[in-house]
Amino acid sequence: MIYVILPRESFINCVRDNTHILPSVCINNLPAVDTSRIMQGMTQTSNAMTRLLLVRHGETDANVSGTWQGSTDSDLNDRGRAQAAAIANRLQSEARKIDVIYTSPLGRAMETARIISDHVGNPPTLRDPNLAEFHLGDWEGLTYDELRFEKRLWDQFAADPNFAPPGGESAIEFGTRLITSLQTIAQTNTGKTVLVVSHGGAISTALSVMVGQDGSRWQEYQMANCALSELTFTPKPTLVCLNEKSHLDSIGALAEWD
């Protein structure tokens, strides 16, 4: 696997999805974001179809305990590695020709990308800091309840989308860097199939803006750990599938991994 480091530009509500606990960034109740500016240049001039395969990283211990990781580095747990192997085997069995992999530089995403890469011919892998999860600064490592009730993070986001926790970023900054990243990836790889490994909050936020044209609709685009979503540009961004996880059926329930 070859890594190239790209330069960086400048609620959590626990949703139970069968056996999966899905933490996701809360942009609920925010006013609809004007997407015209950040979506400029998103369409392609070429007739060639560009395909982005979006994968959320495998499970971590923090996902299980209900702790916000954000930009904090963390590794996959055993269940997360099994999930990563499952999506890797799926892509291999479907004979997907992946031209390049882009991954968040955080360990849980990079480990997921590495496991997949080993099954799909080891294409070039690029680390993009703009694919990292929502950075909550000094408030990372707190539980969801601490963020919601002690810090009142959701209330502050709802009142002001430009609010940023100490040392962290605002919802607007978060969404803008994600769209900028995916826009650049799509434009740089016209006509190719690209695997993007990122995070739950990051992917749901990006899709809500790019597909739903409204950053407050993130709940409609949540993904389980190592689920697959597919986005094509022809030239308009089109969601082909969302949170497809049939390959995870044999992984087992959380309780079986305790």
> Is 133 a known active-site residue?
yes
Quick one: which of 53, 57, 54 has its CA closest to 74? 57
- In whole angstroms, what is the distance from residue 114 CA to residue 122 CA? 8
Q: Which distant-in-sequence residues (6+ apart) come within 8 Å of 222 by Cβ?
A: 15, 17, 22, 24, 200, 204, 243
210 with 39: CB under 8 angstroms?
yes
> Is 135 a known active-site residue?
no
Q: Are strands 15-17 and 20-22 parallel, antiparallel or unpaired?
A: antiparallel
Q: Name the active-site residue from 20, 57, 119, 135.
A: 57
**Neighbour count for residue 219 (Cβ, 10 Å):** 14
* Alpha-carbon torsion (195, 201, 204, 210), positive or negative: negative
Tokens coding 162: 């430009």
Compute the residue count for the chain: 258
Tokens coding 128: 């993009």
Specify the DSSP class assigned to residue 8: P
Q: Name the active-site residue from 59, 133, 140, 169.
A: 133
R_g of the chain, CA atoms, integer Å: 17
Annotated catalytic residues are 57, 133
